[in-house]
Structure 1
Amino acid sequence: MESPEGCADPDQSRPTAAQGAEPAAGRELPMFPLGSPLLPGAVLPLHIFESRYRALARRCTEDDEPFGVVMIERGSEVGGGDVRSDVGCLAMIAQHQELPDGRWVVIATGGERIRILEWLPDDPYPQALTAIWPDEPAEIDAPQRRSLAARLRRLRALASEIGALGVTATESAAIDDRLSHLADDASDPTDWAFELAGLVPAGPFDRHAMLRAPDPARRIEVIAGVLDGVEELLGDR
Structure 2
Amino acid sequence: MLREAPLTLGLFPLHSVLLPGATLSLRVFERRYLDLVSECMRESRGCGVCLILIGDEVGMPATPAKYGTHARIEDFTTGTDGLLHLRIRGGRRFRVATTHVRDNGLLLADVDWCEYDPDDELRPEHATLGIVLQHMLDQVGGEHAKAPPARFDEASWVGWRLAELLPLQESQRQALLQLDDPHARLDRMLHWID
Q: Do the two structures share a fold, i.e. TM-score over 0.5?
A: yes
Task: Find the aligned partners of 2:39 and 2:79 in 1 and give their Cα distance.
Answer: 16
Which structure would you say has the larger RCO, counting Cα contacts within 8 Å and 6 or more residues apart?
A: 1
Could you tell me the percent identity over the aligned residues?
Answer: 28
Q: How far has the Cα of 1:29 moved from its partner?
A: 1.1
Judged with a 3 Å threshold, the aligned counterparts in structure 2 of structure 1 residues 147 and 171 are, in CA distance, closer, same or farther, namely: closer
In the alignment, structure 1 segments of 5+ residues that lack a partner are 1-19, 157-169, 229-237
In the TM superposition, what are the counterparts of 1:28-107 in structure 2 within 5 Å? 28-98=8-78, 103-107=83-87
Q: How far has the Cα of 1:224 moved from its partner?
A: 1.5
Q: How far has the Cα of 1:36 moved from its partner?
A: 1.3
The structure in which a higher percent of residues are strand is: 2
Task: Find the aligned partners of 2:149 and 2:102 in 1 and give their Cα distance.
Answer: 41
Q: From 124, 131, 134, give the equivalent of 1:143.
A: 124
Judged with a 3 Å threshold, the aligned counterparts in structure 2 of structure 1 residues 100 and 61 are, in CA distance, closer, same or farther, namely: farther
Q: How far has the Cα of 1:105 moved from its partner?
A: 0.8
1:172 paired with 2:152, answer no
Counterpart residue number, 2:113: 132
1:146-171 CA distances to partner (integer Å, 9 max, x unpaired)?
311334678x6xxxxxxxxxxxxx98
Judged with a 3 Å threshold, the aligned counterparts in structure 2 of structure 1 residues 90 and 49 are, in CA distance, closer, same or farther, namely: same
* 1:150–1:179 Cα contact (<8 Å) kept: no
1:206 paired with 2:172, answer yes
Secondary structure of the corresponding residue to residue 185 of structure 1: helix
Judged with a 3 Å threshold, the aligned counterparts in structure 2 of structure 1 residues 52 and 171 are, in CA distance, closer, same or farther, namely: farther
Structure index of larger Rg: 1
Q: Alignment length, in residue pairs?
A: 192
Cα RMSD (Å) of the superposition?
A: 3.2
Task: Find the aligned partners of 2:148 and 2:53 in 1 and give their Cα distance.
Answer: 34
Q: Please give the TM-score of this superposition, normalised by the length of structure 1.
A: 0.69
* 1:57–1:104 Cα contact (<8 Å) kept: no
1:33-75 CA distances to partner (integer Å, 9 max, x unpaired)?
0011100000010001111111111111122110000000122
Residue identity in the other structure for 2:114: W
* 1:87–1:113 Cα contact (<8 Å) kept: yes
In the alignment, structure 2 segments of 5+ residues that lack a partner are none
In the TM superposition, what are the counterparts of 1:158-169 in structure 2 within 5 Å? none
